[in-house]
Amino acid sequence: MNNFKINKISLNSETLGQQLKREREEKKISLEKIADDLKINKKYLSALENGRIKDLPAGVYARNYFKAYTEYLNLNTDEILKQYEEEYEGKPAKNKKNLFIQKVTKARYFFSIPKVFKITAILFVIFICIIYIGFYLNNLISPPKLIIFSPETDVNINKNKIEIKGQVENDANIKINGKDVLAGKDGFFSEVIFLKKGLNMVLIEAQKKYSKKNEIIRNILVNLEE
């Protein structure tokens, strides 16, 4: 804070802002330096000097800015605030009220828009996550695809063996009548099984680690000649 001799501002025809500007210029202090020292935007200090109170933030900020500016210039703070009340707070209450309400309404409207977008974005991300998790869990527990090419349906044969051919979804384990069967990289598998005379039930099972089983049954009737 600059140490200057305290001066008393005379309440003459000059406005409060004009007197502050004159005092600053007499002390040869730039507006930029005061803005930097007080951490107040230069445009607000300029508004004080030119009496543009409507350009200042709403509420009590104008009074605080005037007080800080006055103390910085080592002027009589009480007298400055008294003149501030006479010049600005002494205006008709209607104008003062409208100024405050207008600024607060605009501020609320300004801040409400990003908030709506933020909430919408969060809800959208949550929705996408729920859809993804649901899809992942469904894919995890759903039975793997299983196709049997041969035999395509239940059959009657006159020999005691048959070749089971099919294709299964990748990463699925295959069992035929409880026996593990190896599938190729493309999912194709082939296994010869031996049958007994009469009706044979062949159970083909496909299952992933956490999934349900996919089962296909072929009934094969074997007629062997005596």
pLDDT digits (tens, 9 = 90+) for 106-139: 555 545 567 788 888 899 999 999 999 988 888 7
Residue pair 205/215 in contact by the 8 Å Cβ criterion: yes
Q: Where in the chain is the domain with CATH 2.60.40.10?
A: 146-222
- With 60 as the cut, is the pLDDT of residue 98 above it? no
The CATH classification number of 146-222 equals 2.60.40.10
Q: Which fold has domain 16-90?
A: 434 Repressor (Amino-terminal Domain) (1.10.260)
131: left (phi over 0), alpha (psi -120 to 50) or beta: alpha
CA distance 50 to 61: 16
Q: In the beta sheet, which residues pair with residue 176?
A: 179, 204
CB-facing half-sphere around the CA of 46: CA atoms within 13 A: 7
Provide the pLDDT for residue 109: 52
For CA atoms 150, 153, 159, 160, give the dihedral sign: positive
pLDDT digits (tens, 9 = 90+) for 25-54: 998 988 898 888 888 888 888 888 888 878
Confidence of residue 103 (pLDDT cuts 50, 70, 90): very low
Q: Which of 90-94, 125-129, 203-207 has the lowest mean pLDDT?
A: 90-94
Provide the pLDDT for residue 105: 47
Q: Which of 55-69, 134-148, 183-197 has the lowest mean pLDDT?
A: 55-69
If you average pLDDT over every residue of the chain, what do you get? 80
Average pLDDT estimate for 149-170: 93
H or E element: which one contains 112?
helix 93-141
Provide the pLDDT for residue 113: 62
Q: Where in the chain is the domain with CATH 1.10.260.40?
A: 16-90
Residue with tokens 């000649």: 225
